[in-house]
């Protein structure tokens, strides 16, 4: 109980500090959109690295993050730790990117973290909101030449075995903007990893990166990629 209270207190206090930093970049009157995006990415990565260090969690990457940018990274989703683990990986590869997040997250008690840190909200139930969302993504990609897009194609956390059905968003974003898609599979139950943290001995988590897949068959190709990893581990 005390262990959980301690880590949540740490993350909230650290988050409040970083929200102030996010805001200072977000409202900066003279910073270019590209510079803002890069700075916000670095701040998210810095926050994530600090949290992983506190929890004593180490990430082992299997496969290679592409050197080129303009990539849509399709990632499975089980835990709030997913973003933190991925930002740690992206920090090691100096990636600049934006997260796609559901509108409801921007209205939660930690909404300012998403609102000011470079995330883009999407309201799946609002047609006008969807149109605005796709225009915003296209605009950002057109003015920031090294931007990447990070998305959970399942749309929400899934704690069953493997993955669940993908929503159409990832495919539509990739096709509308000519983005290559790279699948990433976090081969750990990070909700359990987080629940039992922090660790006295370093806890290793494994993340697998695949090759570029077709936007037309994203779910099928991702499923094959995920199953190949699971098969190798048996």
pLDDT of 84-106, one tens digit each? 999 999 999 999 999 998 888 88
SS3 letters across 38-61 = HHHHHHHHHHHHHHHHHHCEEEEE
Calculate what percentage of the chain has a pLDDT beyond 90.
Answer: 79
**Residue 60 to residues 2, 51, 64, 203, 232, Cα–Cα distance (Å):** 29, 16, 11, 10, 16
3-state SS class at 167: coil
pLDDT at 234: 52
- Strand segments, DSSP code E, in the chain are 57-62, 71-75, 96-102, 120-122, 147-151, 180-186, 203-209
pLDDT of 47-80, one tens digit each? 999 999 999 999 999 999 999 999 999 999 999 9
User: What are the chain's domains?
Assistant: 2-233 (3.40.1130.10)
Q: What is the CA radius of gyration of the chain?
A: 17
Closest CA to 93 of 134, 54, 63, 114: 63
Counting beta carbons within 10 angstroms of the beta carbon of residue 109, is it exposed (0 to 12), middle (13 to 18) or buried (19 or more)? exposed
Banded model confidence at residue 39, pLDDT cuts 50, 70, 90: very high
- State yes or no: pLDDT of 1 exceeds 70: no
CA–CA separation, 130 vs 91, rounded Å? 30
Q: Which are the contacts of 212, defined by CB distance < 8 A and separation ≥ 6?
A: 66, 180, 181, 182
pLDDT at 223: 94
Residue linked to tokens 């096709």: 175
Phi and psi at residue 81, in whole multiples of 5°?
-75, -15
- State yes or no: pLDDT of 2 exceeds 70: no
- State yes or no: pLDDT of 33 exceeds 80: yes
């Amino acid at each position: 109980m005390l262990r959980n209270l301690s880590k949540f207190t740490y993350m909230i206090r650290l988050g409040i500090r970083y929200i102030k930093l996010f805001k200072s970049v977000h409202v900066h009157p003279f910073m270019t959109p590209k510079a803002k995006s890069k700075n916000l990415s670095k701040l998210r990565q810095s926050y994530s690295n600090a949290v992983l260090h506190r929890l004593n969690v180490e990430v082992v990457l299997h496969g290679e993050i592409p050197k080129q940018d303009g990539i849509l990274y399709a990632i499975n989703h089980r835990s709030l730790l997913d973003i933190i683990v991925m930002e740690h990986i992206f920090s090691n590869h100096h990636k600049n990117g934006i997260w796609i997040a559901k509108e409801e997250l921007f209205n939660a008690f930690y909404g300012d973290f998403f609102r000011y840190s470079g995330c883009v909200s999407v309201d799946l139930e609002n047609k006008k909101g969807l149109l605005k969302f796709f225009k915003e993504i296209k605009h950002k990609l057109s003015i920031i030449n090294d931007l990447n897009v990070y998305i959970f194609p399942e749309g929400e956390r899934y704690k069953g075995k493997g993955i669940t059905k993908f929503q159409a968003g990832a495919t539509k974003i990739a096709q509308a903007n000519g983005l290559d898609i790279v699948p990433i599979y976090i081969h750990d139950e990070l909700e359990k990893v987080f629940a039992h943290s922090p660790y006295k001995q370093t806890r290793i988590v494994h993340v697998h990166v695949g090759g570029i897949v077709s936007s037309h068959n994203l779910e099928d190709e991702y499923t094959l990629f995920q199953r190949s990893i699971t098969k190798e581990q048996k």
